[in-house]
């Protein structure tokens, strides 16, 4: 009995080591960064209730291929796209396919286990994630009824970022996930780069909002004078 308790305690300590805690912390920060940079219009276009179901499930099932997330860190990203308006079906598809299709897992599978099993895992992960996501959609579709007047309140996409800025941002995210805690110096440098990108975007958006407010105030002043 004592051996069982000690074995369980050792397993708990092994799981809660500082490296795992730091890795999960990085994943939560990255999910917040993705939430800030990800366009709500893009999420609704591909994963929203009115999107093409075939396209949305296909995109969700392969999106994890560009990330390096585990079954724990993918939860925060799942929450981010759900808050942006993604439907339950595509979001759950991403939740299950992300850890199975991430670039590190696929690379290790092909190199260590074999090409044949690697392809079986790849195809099975895509198909099973789509099936699970569609089943979740069938169960919870009543809670995602589309309001016919929702277009009145749509948020316009942000156009204050160039394609190069978006590419640099996601390359930085992937590099941080790959580097993790094994290369702390490199991870720290990448985090500084990420913070600079986020603050630059925030300051730019603040300037744009202030400019719009000043223009509106000037127009109201002109109208009052007339």
DSSP-derived secondary structure for 67-114: ----TTHHHHHHHHHHHTT--HHHHHHHHHHHHHH-HHHHHHIIIII-
More confidently predicted of 6 and 176: 6
Report pLDDT for 25: 64
Report how far residue 66's alpha carbon sits from residue 83's, in angstroms, rounded to the nearest whole number: 21
Question: Mean of the per-residue pLDDT values for the chain?
Answer: 72
Report pLDDT for 52: 76
**pLDDT band of 140, cuts 50, 70, 90:** confident
- Closest C-alpha to 97, from 120, 125, 57: 125
The HSE-up count of residue 5 (CA atoms within 13 Å, CB side) is 2
Contacts 24+ apart (CB under 8 A), 167-172: 168/197, 169/33, 169/37, 169/194, 169/197, 170/66, 172/197
User: Whole-model pTM?
Assistant: 0.56
Average pLDDT over residues 83-111: 80
Q: pLDDT tens digits, residue range 70-79?
A: 777 678 778 8
**pLDDT band of 128, cuts 50, 70, 90:** very high
Q: pLDDT tens digits, residue range 4-30?
A: 888 877 777 766 665 666 666 666 666
More confidently predicted of 9 and 206: 9
Average pLDDT over residues 183-197: 81
Report how far residue 87's alpha carbon sits from residue 107's, in angstroms, rounded to the nearest whole number: 30
In this structure, of 7-11, 120-124, 160-164, 194-198, the range with the lowest mean pLDDT score is 160-164
**Residue 146 pLDDT > 90:** no
Report pLDDT for 155: 44
Report pLDDT for 154: 45
> Torsion over CA of 129, 166, 77 and 15, rounded to 10 degrees?
110
**Residue 159 pLDDT > 90:** no
More confidently predicted of 208 and 77: 77
**pLDDT band of 132, cuts 50, 70, 90:** very high
């Amino acid at each position: 009995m004592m051996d069982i308790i000690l074995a369980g305690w050792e397993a708990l300590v092994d799981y809660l080591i500082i490296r795992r805690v730091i890795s999960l912390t990085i994943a939560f920060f990255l999910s917040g960064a993705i939430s800030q940079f990800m366009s709500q219009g893009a999420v609704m276009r591909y994963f929203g209730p009115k999107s093409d179901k075939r396209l949305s499930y296909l995109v969700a099932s392969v999106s994890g291929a560009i990330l390096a997330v585990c079954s724990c860190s993918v939860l925060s990203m799942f929450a981010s796209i759900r808050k942006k308006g993604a439907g339950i079906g595509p979001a759950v598809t991403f939740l299950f396919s992300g850890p199975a299709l991430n670039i590190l897992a696929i690379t290790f599978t092909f190199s260590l286990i074999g090409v044949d099993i690697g392809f079986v895992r790849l195809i099975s992960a895509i198909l099973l994630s789509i099936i699970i996501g569609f089943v979740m959609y069938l169960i919870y579709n009543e809670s995602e009824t589309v309001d016919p007047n929702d277009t009145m309140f749509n948020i316009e996409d942000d156009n204050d970022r160039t394609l190069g800025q978006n590419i640099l941002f996601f390359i930085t995210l992937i590099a941080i996930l790959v580097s993790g805690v094994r290369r702390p110096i490199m991870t720290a440098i990448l985090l500084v780069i990420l913070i600079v990108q986020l603050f630059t975007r925030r300051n730019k958006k603040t300037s744009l909002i202030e400019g719009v407010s000043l223009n509106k105030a000037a127009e109201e002043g002109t109208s009052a004078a007339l």
